[in-house]
Amino acid sequence: MEIIIDGKKCEAQYGEYVLNVARRNGIQIPALCHYDALPGQATCRLCIVEVEEGGRKKVVTSCVFPVTGEMQVFTNSEKIQRMRKNIIRLLSARAPNNEFIKKLRQEYGLLPETRFSGDDKENCILCGLCVRACDETGISAISTVNRGIEKKVSTPFDEASEACIGCGACAFVCPTGAIKMLDENGIRHLWNKDFELVRCEKCGEYFATREHIEYMKKKYGEDKCCSFCEKCRKRIAGEKMAASYRK
Amino acid sequence: MSERDNRTVLVCCGPGCLSNHSLDVYEELKARISKTDIKVDVKTTIKATGCQGLCEKGPMLRIEPDDIFYTCVKVSDVPEIVEKTLLNRQVVERLLYHEPSRNKKVLSPKETRFYGKQMKLALRNVGEIDPFSIEDYIFRGGYKALEKVLSEFSPDEVISEIEKSGLRGRGGAGFPTGRKWRQCARMKDSPRYVICNGDEGDPGAFMDRCIMEGDPHSVIEGMAIGAYAVGSHEGFMYIRDEYFLAIRNMLHAIEQARERGFLGKNILGSDFDFDVQIVRGGGAFVCGESTALMASIEGKVGEPRAKYIRSVEKGLWGKPTVLNNVETWANIPVIINRGAEWFGSIGTEKSKGTKVFSLVGKVKNTGLIEVPMGMTLRDIIFDIGGGIAEGRKFKAVQTGGPSGGCIPESLIDIPVDFDSLDRVGSMMGSGGMIVMDDRTCMVDVARYYLKFLSEESCGKCVPCREGIRRMLEILNDICEGRGRPDDLETLAELGETVKEASLCGLGKSAPNPVLTTLRYFKGEYLAHVNDKTCPAGVCKNLTVYYIDEALCKGCGLCRKSCPSGAIEGQPRQPFAIDESKCIKCGSCMDACRFGAVKTRGRA
């Protein structure tokens, strides 16, 4: 089926989310809590757009709004711009020094926030992507804790979590660089826990935590896991492929 | 023994009366009657019932069939009630209710405006039966509707009947119940679930609580009918854990219903199976939101999800689910028994039937009421509610719980229905109704609700979590005298974003108290911001209490009431308040009979 986004006809499939259709067609909608490999969070609300269906206009979050029929989408109407700016303002009041938020603020022509004061050290916008990523890997070591303005992301009771394998998926998907993961001297520090890092058997670089490798072995079987880092794995795969062509 | 010879004493054991020791009254009555071995020709049954409504005058007690009701009954009154009324059919005059509109004491509830103007459908049995007795419920026509449905109706016919009745969900949004059921019944996926939302969390609201406590079977029966209609075999009741009595009574009722074959396999000999279980909620306000509630039942963090794909399609565990609130379910048997047409004849064009409200705040008769849709706010507040307490002036009424709006006096002649309340910026919500008098500061009210919501927002989405927090910051500043000239504009603008861009109903309605007070009481905001004055004398930083010498008679009542020793004076001479000692509690103002204690701005 076809939908119209900002006047442009776009091909879409039934059930596909508006954000994905827009991006595929080169129409940029800002979003912080969106990650292609994970289901939509709909928490940062930056991807709000106006949708007109059957003569009625409404504000929806494009990352989870499915295409189900004819519709017109306005990603940058005056109303959307106004509200998006307010959301960015709220984010920059929360995390005034975060580089990603600063950049966003400048893009939308907003001045540094003066009415509200925020925590200079705050970087987390509570989008929940880290929690989602941790859930999807099957670990569920972190979760959102408390509610309302007290909400935060943490391990149970803020203690080093037994479940955490130090894979770093949380830090990897974080859109604002809020999760501190530090690798030094063969030790990874993450979520109040220290993990021993394992060296790649080929190049000798540290590449994963012992717990992570154990987990993968348990999940996918001993033979399906290797002890090489990502770079070496790629190189080995490439060499294999090249060898097969040579034959 | 004929029906007439049986006498029943109904002791209200609703939440309000219980906290005023009605259970002691009940026990005392029981003990006295069993002891008195009275030579009377009547058998007297004592029943502890659910809420009888007039909570302000509790503990309440009714004697049937004599149709006498007593208010503010204490344990020490029991001997006299037994001696005079039960043994000798005399009335204890001082325990009768004083009807203000006629300025006389009345015998029967029907003679009062409080009860006379009500119409009880969802509350039909609450306060009339012993909630622990399924026989009581059956005696009053209980489970007839379920029987009728199973023997005479196809599931589709049940849905048509509910659609025809025009019933809309009583939980807040007012979605047509029949349409919801129809959508669910159309789904191909199974199993399907029905859920009862008993997570009532609005401050000052106790409608659903009283139904679950006082008439649990009506909810079970409603759910069984709904389950039959949509093809579900499993139901959940989500009840907040603080509602200890509701959970206890409901558990007991479910057991009884199972024993009698109203729940379980092959209900009433049909091939329909259905059972219900209770899930206890942990007390998060947001878990009253349907998708957060389902997440909570599933054992996940109680956060809502976007509802672009609705719960009737993918609800609990991703399966088609019908969720209705307690009052909606309680209405279902009535509609089946008395017919959709009859139900549709009550109320307004688009809001059918009745609505239960907990009428609280500065009214004379606080309590639980049920009125036909379309009754005006004025009738509810001034007739049923008996007007404003202590003869003060009406200022505003807040409907719809913490995220409802404040409606000013100029609008209290609007009919109470879903759409009218919506138009004036408020909402029906689940039926909270808080009346405010002229000693209420509307900025402070907005601040109070925002504080509540800032703590109860789940914090998942940015506009709700961060927006409410910042709006609250502004309101705190305004109330404490740090308001800036452009604050009102910022409030309105943030309010719009929170309302439009939030994920769930909590955020979408959270700015209502601010936006409506800004709309109807802007002058009060301006006084706070520009003149640094709180006209109602509530915001302490902006208020100075003083005694108007011209009005003061020097009686000294103010001095006696002052907890901080801030008032000095000689008898029959004007008294004065020492500002440095005054804690601005308002006790002197309440104590003064001459209106001599006044407030002015700080400046």
In this predicted structure, the answer to whether residue B1 has a pLDDT above a threshold of 50 is no
Last residue of a domain, one of B402, B417, B437: B437
**pLDDT band, very low/low/confident/very high, at B2 (cuts 50, 70, 90):** very low
Last residue of a domain, one of B295, B312, B344: B344
A24-33, B39-48, B418-427: segment of lowest average pLDDT: B39-48
Answer yes or no: is B573 within a domain: yes
CATH at B106:
3.40.30.10
Which chain B residues are closer than 8 Å to A151 by Cβ?
A: 458-460, 465
Answer yes or no: is B428 within a domain: yes
User: Tens digits of per-residue pLDDT, B51-77?
Assistant: 999 999 989 999 988 899 999 999 999
Domain boundaries, chain A: 1-125, 129-246
CA distances from A228 to A172, A209, A224, A238, B57 (A): 19, 12, 12, 14, 78
Q: What is the full DSSP assignment across B263-328?
A: SBSSGGGSS--BEEEEEEE-S-GGGGSHHHHHHHHTTS-------SS-TTTS-GGGS-EEEEEHHH
Say yes or no: B595 and B577 in one domain. Answer: yes
Say yes or no: B45 and B72 in one domain. Answer: yes
- Rounded mean pLDDT of B126-142? 94
Which chain A residues are closer than 8 Å to B474 by Cβ?
A: 115
Answer yes or no: is B488 within a domain: yes
Say yes or no: B335 and B186 in one domain. Answer: yes
Assign domain A1-125 to its CATH architecture. Answer: Roll (3.10)
User: Tens digits of per-residue pLDDT, B483-519?
Assistant: 999 999 999 999 999 999 999 999 999 999 999 999 9
Say yes or no: B161 and B268 in one domain. Answer: yes
Partners of B436 in the β-ladder: B396
Size of interface A-B (CB pairs under 8 A): 106
Last residue of a domain, one of B384, B404, B437: B437
Q: Which of A83, A93, A148 sits opposite B459 (nearest CB)?
A: A148
Say yes or no: B326 and B364 in one domain. Answer: no
The verdict on a CB contact (< 8 Å) between B456 and A148 is yes
**pLDDT band, very low/low/confident/very high, at B43 (cuts 50, 70, 90):** low
> Which chain A residue lies closest to B461 (C-alpha atoms)?
A43
Nearest CA to CA, how far is B14 from chain A (Å)? 32
Predicted local distance difference test score (pLDDT) of residue B474? 97
> Token pair of B452, please?
């509540």
Please state the domain count of chain B: 5
List per-residue pLDDT tens for chain A, 247 residues long.
Answer: 999 999 999 999 999 999 999 999 999 999 999 999 999 899 999 999 999 998 899 999 999 999 999 999 999 999 999 999 999 999 999 999 999 999 999 999 999 999 999 899 999 999 999 999 999 999 999 999 998 888 999 999 999 999 999 999 999 999 999 999 999 999 999 999 999 999 998 899 999 999 999 998 888 887 766 788 889 889 988 998 999 988 7
Which chain B residues are closer than 8 Å to A153 by Cβ?
A: none
Answer yes or no: is B537 within a domain: no
Predicted local distance difference test score (pLDDT) of residue A219? 87
> Token pair of B237, please?
């009741």
Integer Cα distance of B67 and B275 in angstroms: 38
Q: What is the full DSSP assignment across B116-162?
A: HT---STTSSTTTS-TT-HHHHHHTTTTHHHHHHHHH--HHHHHHHH
Predicted local distance difference test score (pLDDT) of residue B3? 43
Say yes or no: B430 and B460 in one domain. Answer: no
CATH at B460:
1.20.1440.230
Answer yes or no: is B120 within a domain: no
Q: Which of B301, B308, B466 sits opposite A144 (nearest CB)?
A: B301
Answer yes or no: is B121 within a domain: no
Partners of A24 in the β-ladder: none
ipTM of the complex: 0.91
Which chain A residues are closer than 8 Å to B471 by Cβ?
A: none
Say yes or no: B306 and B162 in one domain. Answer: yes
Q: Which domain range does residue B429 map to?
A: 354-437
3-state secondary structure of B543: coil
Three-class SS of B473-530: HHHHHHHCCCCCCCHHHHHHHHHHHHHHHCCCHHHHHCCHHHHHHHHHCHHHHHHHHC
Give me the residue label for tokens 């307490």.
B389
Strand (E) or helix (H) holding B63: strand B61-64
Q: What is the full DSSP assignment across A190-214?
A: ETTEEEEEEE-TTT--EEEEHHHHH
User: Tens digits of per-residue pLDDT, B263-302?
Assistant: 999 999 999 999 999 999 988 899 999 999 999 999 998 9
Nearest CA to CA, how far is B501 from chain A (Å)? 7
User: Is B62 in contact with B29 (CB distance < 8 Å)?
Assistant: no
The verdict on a CB contact (< 8 Å) between B455 and A45 is no
Say yes or no: B361 and B468 in one domain. Answer: no
Answer yes or no: is B349 within a domain: no
Which chain A residues are closer than 8 Å to B494 by Cβ?
A: 86, 90
Say yes or no: B377 and B290 in one domain. Answer: no
Answer yes or no: is B292 within a domain: yes
The residues of B whose Cβ lies within 8 A of any Cβ of A are: 284, 286, 301, 303, 305-306, 308-309, 453-463, 465-470, 473-474, 484, 490, 493-494, 496-497, 500-503
Query: Cα A100 to the chain's mean position, in Å?
Result: 13
3-state secondary structure of B189: coil
- Rounded mean pLDDT of B169-188? 94
Say yes or no: B294 and B365 in one domain. Answer: no
Partners of B64 in the β-ladder: B8
Say yes or no: B432 and B518 in one domain. Answer: no
Q: What one-letter code names the amino acid at B239?
A: I
Mean pLDDT of the residues in chain B? 92
The verdict on a CB contact (< 8 Å) between A90 and B463 is yes
**pLDDT band, very low/low/confident/very high, at B316 (cuts 50, 70, 90):** very high
Say yes or no: B150 and B291 in one domain. Answer: yes
Integer Cα distance of B116 and B97 in angstroms: 13
How many degrees, rounded to 5, is the angle at CA B156 between CA B269 and CA B323? 90
Which chain B residues are closer than 8 Å to A116 by Cβ?
A: 470, 473
CATH at B358:
3.10.20.600
Nearest CA to CA, how far is B535 from chain A (Å)? 26
